[in-house]
Structure 1
Amino acid sequence: MSDRPLVALVYQRPGMPWMFEGAERAGVDVVLIHRPDPRPDEALPAELPPAVVRALPLDIFGDEAGSLAALEELHRERPLAALVTALDVAVPFTAKAARSLGLPGLSEDASVAVRDKREMRRRIEKAGLNTPAYAALSSPEEWKLAADLDFPVVVKPAGGFTSLGVTRVDSRDDLEDAVSSVWEVCSRHLGYGKDSAAFEGLVVEEYLDGDEYCVESLSYGGETRIHTIGYKGRPEGPYFEETVYRAPAPLTPAVERSITEQVTAAHRALGVTDGPTHAELRLRGDKAYLLEMGARVGASGGSHHIVESVTGVDFAGETFRIAMGREPVSWSRPVVRPGVGAMYFVPVGGSGRIADIEGLTEAADDPRVDRVIQLLHPGDRVLPYPEYSGYPGFVLSHHGDYPDAERFHQGLDASVSVTYE
């Protein structure tokens, strides 16, 4: 039997490699907890990813009790050192499982605060941080609670993920229909109306029209260190599909100070003391407003590429070390800044059955490109927004300076596209 620590990695897509590679560098064996009925982009390959010594199918959403019992049995066979997930919706289960096994990890209270956007808004507001005016809805019939907000507003699921259901509404006259439409999406994809639904409800908040940024941080023992602040464009909606991510973002001192203050204080307000976070913010003038903060490595592990490119820090590996209660290696080493990291989200560009995805092979030949990840393929069906079928793929690259990354993404806009039957 291996003498390496054993860590359960919950619902990590095999096609997104960074968490597996981080586990390998951290010197741990991985039990990959996967869905019993995985989608094509989540299916296990014939050869398991790096560090994975076993794959265990568990239905953590449909059968939480059975999943916890299976992990307890696994823990008796070979003790687990930690549980880790990079999937936002799996954070509460992972925290609960860690607590039931007596392992380090995010508290259950904090796991709720980072998953339920209503609770997140309440805690951020109570802490005196910048908060757009908002209304928390427990049912679609409560839409009038948001009618007095200043429009446009954004309707989003309280426990959603990525851009699922997120919709901009420009007029009070359209609010009731929009709330109803988003609720129906949540019923189909998040189980609203069923006993297994988690964080059932919506948040309606005033739209912020400034630039959007992502912040990748690590916390250990209550100390939070921001590693990168990246530019995410200025998505205007109505459905907020992500397009680019470039770091470090060019910032004025006032904006950088506001982002740093808001993110650091949000960790305290939400109770996140240990582990990675992926925060998203938008500006109103020079003031940063937290949209949300996830207690995970962002982009299914892809944020590791951004942090490593900019700072040299092994972000995914540090996540495993902190999860086991170990001090991160980067805590005692100076941070270097080798360059610019970039991530391009292949635009969906429509809906229907995919006929072809053009430009990815050519992109992979560029010496600045580190990886091309393709998740959707010809024959796959893409649902129209505000449904969410996943991004077709990602192009991850490194650059000597920010303008080069910007020009590179502009070139991909012209050369990469999805066509439909």
Structure 2
Amino acid sequence: MRHTTPSATRDLLLIIGSGPAPMQQYLLERAAADYPLLLIEDQPLTWQRPYVVDHEVVADPTDPVALCAAADALAARWPLAGVLTWSENHVLSTARLAERLGLSGNPPRAALAARDKALGQQCFAAAGVPAAASTWVHSLDAAASAAERVGYPVVLKPASHTGSIGVTRVDTIGDLPRSWDIATAAVAHQGPEGQGALLQEYLDGPEVSVETVTYQGTTTAVALTRKTLGFAPHFLATAHSVTAEDPLLQTVAPLAAQALKALGITDGVSHVEMRFTVTGPRVIEVNARLAGDRIGDLVLRATGVDLPRAAAAIACGNAPDLQPTKRCSAAIGMLYPPADGVVTTRHLTPGSTDEEEFHWLCDIGDHVTRTPSTTTPNNTRAGFAIVTGPTVGQAQQRLADALARAEIEVQPAATPVA
């Protein structure tokens, strides 16, 4: 562990899990702009060191006993103002830790309802929230019976996973056994908050997410994220875009607030997923933490609202600053390998604008797969680009140009001999 002196005589913010640098370094950087940070991580620190005052390494931060012991050790050395996570797998343990320490945060029962998708759907139904009809299923036969009641197509998904891992669309009963195998393989790696799989009504229409901030029970819808999905029958994100003052935001804001209230969310930044159907917007699920895929960065670039700093403020019991200062558009696009195999070449032609950022997620010699995994959300991604533009059209054109300048070649994996 490392000890330094905070730059200001303030209480410190404890972060549970930092995540991978390309996607989540900005979160730690933005939180550190306002608060000296402590960190509980499952690996020795590398890129995190410039942002952290002190830390504890815990083999499994989801282990409540180990997590509490690490937090107690840090609290014995430093005064704590709050505790925060942006990791889906740590949402419930963080809520429990905040309650134990007497700090601000969502009630553990609300965090559990957000993590356990089956329980969350029960909360939506009880509160009359327009949402996808869902049934918890424990066997292939139960899934088949539920699908007949709901009507094909349906969606089969783990009850408490993340990153669209193990989520597939099932169009016919003939497709159900394969989807069941994918879902149950993912179930073995999901968090302990939910058990088994969820069979959900398929909602047809564009998918969006609402990035919200809730402070002392009052929710503000800050931005709308428009999503592009691919790799059917899977639901992998290929792009996200955020535009300041998106005209659809006010349409979905009341539904997002209703969904959060149904779960009992009282404080923090949340990511509410929904689809626009022919009958109007309907909720898919709620993530009681900052969105992944650099969506918080898109919000900052497009609107000027800093969601990581807002989350840090709320965790420390302070009101967040949600005043927009920008009016533009930002987008992120994912680069996928052309096939399963070993990366032999990767090259990026320099861009023509400063409003662009590109990161590789693979190195030469790495084995990459184009087929979605049941255990890892990002195994198929070779890299990603983020761009900003004054309008939606210009941002989309810059994104297309940036991705077109990235080249990756793969030596296909040998086909096994039957």
Shorter-chain TM-score: which interval? 0.7 to 0.9
2:51 aligns to what? 51
Distance apart, 1:198 and its partner CA:
3.5
Distance apart, 1:220 and its partner CA:
0.7
1:158 aligns to what? 159
2:319 aligns to what? 327
Structure 2 counterpart of 1:34, one-letter code: E
Root-mean-square deviation (Å): 2.4
2:414 aligns to what? none
2:38 aligns to what? 31
Distance apart, 1:109 and its partner CA:
0.6
Q: Does 1:285 align with 2:278?
A: yes
The verdict on how the C-alpha distance between 1:125 and 1:362 changes in structure 2, with shifts beyond 3 A counting, is farther
| SS of equivalent residue, structure 2 residue 237 | coil
Instruction: Answer yes or no: is the 8 Å Cα contact 1:228–1:310 preserved in 2.
Output: no
Distance in 2 between residues matched to 1:353 and 1:146, nearest whole Å: 41
Q: Does 1:407 align with 2:400?
A: no
- Between stretches 64-73 and 410-419, larger displacement belongs to 410-419
Distance in 1 between residues matched to 2:82 and 2:140, nearest whole Å: 39
Instruction: Answer yes or no: is the 8 Å Cα contact 2:338–2:410 preserved in 1.
Output: no
Of 290, 299, 304, which aligns to 1:297?
Answer: 290
The verdict on how the C-alpha distance between 1:81 and 1:286 changes in structure 2, with shifts beyond 3 A counting, is same
1:229-255: CA deviations, max 9, x gaps? 121125472111111111128966xx5
The verdict on how the C-alpha distance between 1:258 and 1:169 changes in structure 2, with shifts beyond 3 A counting, is same
Q: Does 1:353 align with 2:342?
A: yes
The verdict on how the C-alpha distance between 1:385 and 1:236 changes in structure 2, with shifts beyond 3 A counting, is closer
Distance apart, 1:78 and its partner CA:
1.5
Distance in 1 between residues matched to 2:242 and 2:153, nearest whole Å: 29
1:274-307: CA deviations, max 9, x gaps? 110112211212611212221111116x222122
Instruction: Answer yes or no: is the 8 Å Cα contact 2:158–2:186 preserved in 1.
Output: no
2:242 aligns to what? 247
1:48-105: CA deviations, max 9, x gaps? 4443122321133563312212211221221221111111111111111111222111
Distance apart, 1:257 and its partner CA:
4.6
1:393 aligns to what? 383
2:179 aligns to what? 178
Query: Which runs of 5 or more residues in structure 2 are unaligned?
Result: 412-418
Q: Does 1:373 align with 2:359?
A: yes
Instruction: Answer yes or no: is the 8 Å Cα contact 2:210–2:223 preserved in 1.
Output: yes
| SS of equivalent residue, structure 1 residue 329 | coil
The verdict on how the C-alpha distance between 1:56 and 1:392 changes in structure 2, with shifts beyond 3 A counting, is farther
Distance apart, 1:256 and its partner CA:
4.4
- Between stretches 274-283 and 407-416, larger displacement belongs to 407-416
Instruction: Answer yes or no: is the 8 Å Cα contact 2:225–2:241 preserved in 1.
Output: yes
Distance in 1 between residues matched to 2:16 and 2:128, nearest whole Å: 34
Distance apart, 1:161 and its partner CA:
0.6
What TM-score, normalized to structure 1? 0.87
Q: Does 1:382 align with 2:365?
A: no
Instruction: Answer yes or no: is the 8 Å Cα contact 1:247–1:310 preserved in 2.
Output: yes
The verdict on how the C-alpha distance between 1:68 and 1:339 changes in structure 2, with shifts beyond 3 A counting, is same
1:215 aligns to what? 210
Query: Which runs of 5 or more residues in structure 1 are unaligned?
Result: 37-42, 192-196
1:274 aligns to what? 267
Instruction: Answer yes or no: is the 8 Å Cα contact 1:6–1:82 preserved in 2.
Output: yes
| SS of equivalent residue, structure 2 residue 283 | strand
The verdict on how the C-alpha distance between 1:155 and 1:407 changes in structure 2, with shifts beyond 3 A counting, is same
What is the percentage of aligned positions where both structures have the same residue? 26
Distance apart, 1:268 and its partner CA:
0.6
Distance apart, 1:199 and its partner CA:
1.1
The verdict on how the C-alpha distance between 1:97 and 1:351 changes in structure 2, with shifts beyond 3 A counting, is farther
| SS of equivalent residue, structure 1 residue 104 | coil
Distance apart, 1:210 and its partner CA:
0.9
1:40 aligns to what? none
The verdict on how the C-alpha distance between 1:289 and 1:34 changes in structure 2, with shifts beyond 3 A counting, is same
| Aligned residue-pair number | 398
Structure 2 counterpart of 1:342, one-letter code: A
Structure 1 counterpart of 2:331, one-letter code: A
The verdict on how the C-alpha distance between 1:156 and 1:73 changes in structure 2, with shifts beyond 3 A counting, is same
Distance in 1 between residues matched to 2:403 and 2:129, nearest whole Å: 36
Distance apart, 1:315 and its partner CA:
1.6
Distance in 2 between residues matched to 1:357 and 1:292, nearest whole Å: 36
The verdict on how the C-alpha distance between 1:366 and 1:335 changes in structure 2, with shifts beyond 3 A counting, is closer
2:108 aligns to what? 108
- Between stretches 163-172 and 129-138, larger displacement belongs to 129-138
The verdict on how the C-alpha distance between 1:55 and 1:100 changes in structure 2, with shifts beyond 3 A counting, is same
